[in-house]
Amino acid sequence: MQLESSSTSKEQLSFLQFKKEVLHDYKIAVISRECSVLGRREVLTGKAKFGIFGDGKEVPQLAMAKAFKKGDFRSGYYRDQTFMLALGELTPQQFFAGLYAHPSLKADPMSGGRQMGGHFLTHSLDKNGDFKNLTEQYNSTSDISPTAGQMPRMLGVAYASKLFRKIPEVKNPKFSNNGNEISWGTIGNASTSEGIFFETINAAGVLQVPMIISVWDDDYGISVPAKFQTTKENISEILKGFQRDENSKGYEIFVVKGWEYPQLIEVYNKASKIAREEHVPVLIHVKDLTQPQGHSTSGSHERYKSKERLIWEKQHDCIAKMRDWIFEFELQDENNNTLKFVDSESELIQIEKDAKKLVSQAKRDAWNAFLTPIKEQKNRLVSLLEKLAAKSENKVFINKLKFELSNISEPARKDLLSIARKVIVFVRNENSIEKKQLQNWVTSYLNSEQSKFSSHLYSQTNKKVSHVKEVLPTYNDNAELVDGRIIIKDNFDTLFSKNNNVFIFGEDSGNIGDVNQGLVGLQEKYGKLRVSDTGIREATIIGQGIGMALRGLRPIAEIQYLDYLLYALQILSDDLASLHYRTVGTQKAPLIIRTRGHRLEGIWHSGSPMGAIINLLRGINILVPRNMTKAAGFYNTLLECDEPALIIENLNGYRLKEKLPNNLGELKTPIGVVETIKEGKDITVVSYGSTLKIVENVVKDLNQVDIDIEIIDVQSLLPFDVNHDVIKSVQKTNRLIIIDEDVPGGASAYLLNEILEKQNAYEYLDSKPITLTAKPHRPAYGTDGDYFSKPNAEDIFETIYHIMQEVNPVKYKKLY
């Protein structure tokens, strides 16, 4: 409904329609407010753990919902419940299910209880994990808690519209209608202080994409006022330089008060027209918003807001203002009749009463749905304990625990399991059917409930990485020896020609074909949108990829050097790595991140922070190919899968010679499978990436002193050795050394843990297992810096020799 229609609607009928819409909006607003009010109460009475609600931000969200079309996407934050309610993508009952953390997608479609309430999404995938028709539904990417964390992907979602519009071959009716879709963002005023906010704003201006970012400005970020958050205390004021004009492209910027319902509708209409039609980014600064109940349930704003401010907030509560506007609205029709939305206040009071009733019922329903299955289990358990106690010599103890359990009227799963598992300890020496029944109950309950909290870290569909079988490289008889970079480039060439949905982008990736020439000539061949340069902005390069992947494209985001991945680590960890898990497999972003690293020169060009990466990025496949043929094989594998991955190419491998395969684009490196690259009998050497070359180089020297090593290439850190091949080697050699360039206790410790604990290697070891790593500091510059910082050939030789020397000091004399 446009504002103009209100002032020009002379006909009774259209006025009636307008009135209906306004009153419906009002109803949504009060329902939303009531959810916040009761939600807070649920936390304060202990039914829910924490609550962060959308009160005080209701009215602008109604306006945003009106301009939001099917096919559009939202990337927002925890205040957006009204928007979701207005679209019909959230019901009050689901709102409460989220608050109670009901671990079921049916009850809580927003995350199956995994996320704190207030984190919203829509489901992009069907039961098989395939994309639904995203143009026929409202879409919301899945929220994350870190402030401004929604920004990078918002860019990618918007950028996808540009690609869908500009590249005819990419058109796909399931994903886009000529790129008409808008990426709608919301963010709190204080969160605009984050670096990734500014990085995203700049990138969207450069890329000219249909992104509308609304800043919900309530002058505070928890207790910290705008004065400490934003220069001039005014985000639209300081972003004025982004405003487009006749000479240069940029943003359209609107400022509007958060309680002016008709103006908000007008602004949102204008904004959506600009973004949708012209692909111009828009900033809407929504001011004068309030926090009727304070920031969240963990504190009260009376502690830090002045009396005057609190009074002002009461007076400017957007719902109260909307109510006044509805109540006072009058229009003369052509016959001089006065048209009003309501004839008396009682109509509004009725709406408010109905809303309260509805929300209260929804809350009760959600709580009952949450509690009933646990209570049923509780009753079963109580009866099992009763029976067991009757037979047990530990009757007194069991009865005490049973009594404790009976008294918990609203139990959690934890209460049940804690008590049952304690009882098992009491009856450990007993033998009875009742004990067996209790044991069965514990294992089956643990079994059935654990997956509710732990499933979907990776794909569970037939597109998971483990489903792709290895395809070995094949060679012509007279296969050429070429630089590794040629192999990677020719492989990309084949991939781009085979699949129009594949894109690659990063710093220097386009025009010069990346800093190591792995993409040379490909921009010319496939165009500036398929192979493109980006600004220096690692976090939003990743966000660009996440957003594109969420919309069905197959992006490869390039981070120039591994060391610079750290700028993107937050978004990789918080957003990409957790995406499939936190959405319980209802969204996927099979983004491939390409980077290069390990051995080079200097503190910021030769890092290998693999421990940090594998620990922060569970949910992403972490691959460390030893050469470019292996790397090419990983890209080919991944493009058949629906999981995200990071591929770290060897920086020093681009100029090393490899035989040119004749099945580029087809060869596939399996993921999660190690490779034995040299057999030997004395010791198993596990390594990966650049270090492997050095290990290979000491083989001869070790042979000369009669040490025969077996070398295993890890290839894939996450997942690692799914077939447990390393243990087969250790069973033979009875000795193990793990070598990498990470710090002590980094990825080598992870590998040791996997091999010792998961594969039970300790049973077969005759020598202490050793990790040989870099020094704990960053690698110093230059040849000697490298030599003294990272494991070198002599270190490797001597460490292995030393292990053998301990085994047989007669044969292997001490070196020092």
Ligand X SMILES: Cc1ncc(C[n+]2csc(CCOP(=O)(O)OP(=O)(O)O)c2C)c(N)n1
Contact set with ligand X (CB under 6 A): 79, 145-147, 188-191, 216, 218, 220-222, 295
- Residue 66's alpha-carbon distances to 22, 269, 270, 802, 816, in angstroms, are 11, 8, 12, 73, 79
Q: Does residue 218 interact with Mg ion by CB under 5 A?
A: yes
CA separation for the pair 28, 21 (Å, rounded):
10
Q: What element of type H or E holds 711?
A: strand 709-713
Cβ nearer to ligand X, comparing 222 with 382? 222
Crossing angle for the helix pair 345-391 and 318-328, to the nearest 10 degrees: 140
Given the rule CB under 5 A, which of 135-143, 181-189, 715-723, 768-776 is the region that contacts Mg ion? 181-189
Q: Which is nearer to Mg ion, 187 or 209 (CB)?
A: 187
Question: Of 186-194, 267-275, 738-746, 754-762, which part binds Mg ion (CB under 5 A)?
Answer: 186-194
Task: Name the residue with tokens 């490196």.
Answer: 669
Binding-site partner at residue 222 among ligand X, Mg ion, none, CB < 5 to 8 Å by type: ligand X
- With 0-12 / 13-18 / 19 or more C-beta atoms within 10 angstroms meaning exposed / middle / buried, residue 356 is middle
- The contact mask relative to Mg ion for 553-592 (x = CB under 5 A, - = no) is ----------------------------------------
| 652 in Cβ contact with 690 (< 8 Å) | yes
CB of 317 to Mg ion, least distance (A): 15
CB of 291 to ligand X, least distance (A): 7
**Choices 219-227, 397-405, 452-460, 711-719; region in contact with Mg ion by CB under 5 A:** 219-227
Q: Which is nearer to Mg ion, 145 or 432 (CB)?
A: 145
Q: Looking at beta carbons only, is 190 or 384 nearer to Mg ion?
A: 190
The helix or strand, by DSSP H or E, that contains position 596, with its residue range, turns out to be strand 592-597
Judged by beta carbon, residue 77 or residue 634, the one nearer Mg ion is 77
Count of alpha carbons within 13 angstroms of residue 267, beta-carbon side: 27
Among residues 687, 730, 682, the alpha carbon closest in space to that of 707 is found at 682
Q: Smaller CB distance to ligand X: residue 577 or 660?
A: 577
Residue 60 contacts Mg ion per CB under 5 A: no
Residue 143 CB, shortest distance to ligand X, in Å, is 11
Of 286 and 628, CB closest to Mg ion: 286
Residue 145 binds which of Mg ion, ligand X, none (CB < 5-8 A, kind-dependent): ligand X
What residue 417 binds from ligand X, Mg ion, none (CB within 5 to 8 A, per partner kind)? none
In terms of CB distance, is 122 or 150 closer to ligand X?
150
* Residue 34 interacting partner from ligand X, Mg ion, none (CB closer than 5 to 8 Å by kind): none
For residues 121-151, b (16+ Cβ closer than 10 Å) or e, as one string?
bbbbbeeebebeebbebbbbbbbbeebbbbb
For the chain, state the CA radius of gyration.
31
CB of 32 to Mg ion, least distance (A): 18
Q: Can you tell me the distance from the alpha carbon of 381 to that of 373, in angstroms, rounded to the nearest whole number? A: 12
Residue among 567 and 750 whose Cβ is closer to ligand X: 567
From CA 310, how far away is CA 183, in angstroms rounded? 34
188 touches Mg ion (CB under 5 A): yes
* C-alpha span between 580 and 151 (Å, rounded): 18
Region label for 143, one of left (φ > 0), alpha (ψ between -120 and 50) or beta (otherwise): beta
Locus of tokens 């409460």: 96
| Cβ at position 147, least distance to ligand X in Å | 4
CB 197, min distance to ligand X, A: 9
Query: Which C-beta is closer to ligand X: that of 195 or that of 744?
Result: 195
Query: Does 186 contact Mg ion by CB under 5 A?
Result: no
The least CB distance from residue 60 to Mg ion, in Å, is 13
* Nearest to ligand X of 50, 788 (CB atom): 50
Q: Choose the one of ligand X, Mg ion, none that binds residue 147, judging by a C-beta under 5 to 8 angstroms depending on kind.
A: ligand X
Min separation Cβ 221 and Mg ion, Å? 5
**Structural tokens at position 616:** 């922060």
Q: Rounded to an integer, what distance in angstroms lies between the CA atom of residue 66 and that of residue 83?
A: 9
Nearest approach in angstroms of CB 300 to ligand X is: 15
Let me know: does 564 contact 556? Beta carbons within 8 Å: no
Is the Cβ–Cβ distance between 110 and 118 less than 8 Å? no
Q: How far is the CB of 578 from ligand X (least distance, A)?
A: 14
Cβ proximity to ligand X, 146 vs 602, nearer residue: 146
Binding piece for Mg ion, criterion CB under 5 A, among 78-86, 188-196, 328-336, 352-360: 188-196
Instruction: Give the pair of three-digit tokens for residue 567.
Output: 């700028």
Classified as helix, coil or strand, 331 is strand
Q: What are phi and psi of 386, to 5 degrees?
A: -55, -50
Residue 461, phi then psi, degrees to nearest 5: -105, 180
Q: Which does 501 bind (CB under 5 to 8 A by kind): Mg ion, ligand X, none?
A: none
Report, in Å, the least distance between residue 305 CB and ligand X.
12
| Least distance to ligand X, CB of residue 148, Å | 7
Q: Which residue is nearest to ligand X (CB)?
A: 188
Name the residue nearer to ligand X (CB basis): 299 or 809.
299
Q: Which of 189, 293, 523, 544 binds Mg ion (CB under 5 A)?
A: 189
End-to-end CA distance of the chain: 86
Q: Shortest distance, CB of residue 193 to ligand X, whole angstroms?
A: 8
Q: Which does 18 bind (CB under 5 to 8 A by kind): ligand X, Mg ion, none?
A: none
Is residue 110 within 8 Å of 119, Cβ to Cβ? Answer: yes
Residue 281 C-beta: closest distance to ligand X, Å = 20
Query: CA dihedral in degrees (104, 109, 112, 116; nearest 10)?
Result: -140
- Contact partner at residue 51 from Mg ion, ligand X, none, CB < 5 to 8 Å by partner kind: none
Q: From the CB of 145, what's the least distance to ligand X, in Å?
A: 5
In 3D, which of 238, 230, 222 has the Cα closest to residue 193?
A: 230
Phi-psi region of 521 (alpha: psi -120 to 50; beta: other; left: phi over 0): left
Q: Which is nearer to ligand X, 150 or 627 (CB)?
A: 150
Q: Which amino acid is at 305?
A: K
In whole angstroms, how close is the CB of 116 to Mg ion at the nearest point? 18
Which is nearer to ligand X, 223 or 615 (by Cβ)?
223
Total chain residues near Mg ion (CB under 5 A): 5
H helix or E strand, kind and range, residue 592? strand 592-597
Q: Which does 295 bind (CB under 5 to 8 A by kind): ligand X, Mg ion, none?
A: ligand X
Rounded least distance, CB 216 to ligand X, Å: 5
Residue pair 286/216 in contact by the 8 Å Cβ criterion: yes
Q: Determine the residue with CB nearest Mg ion.
A: 188
**Which two tokens mark 810?**
């007669």
Which DSSP string corresponds to 236-261? HHHTGGGB--SSS--BEEEEEETT-H
- Residue 110 vs 664, nearer CB to ligand X: 110
**653 lies in the binding site for Mg ion (CB under 5 A):** no
Instruction: Give the residue with the Cβ less far from ligand X, 79 or 402.
Output: 79
- Alpha-carbon distances of 579 from 99, 550, 614, rounded to whole Å: 20, 10, 16
Q: Which of 214, 223, 188, 228 is nearest to 294 (CA)?
A: 223
What residues line the site for Mg ion (CB under 5 A)?
188-190, 218, 220
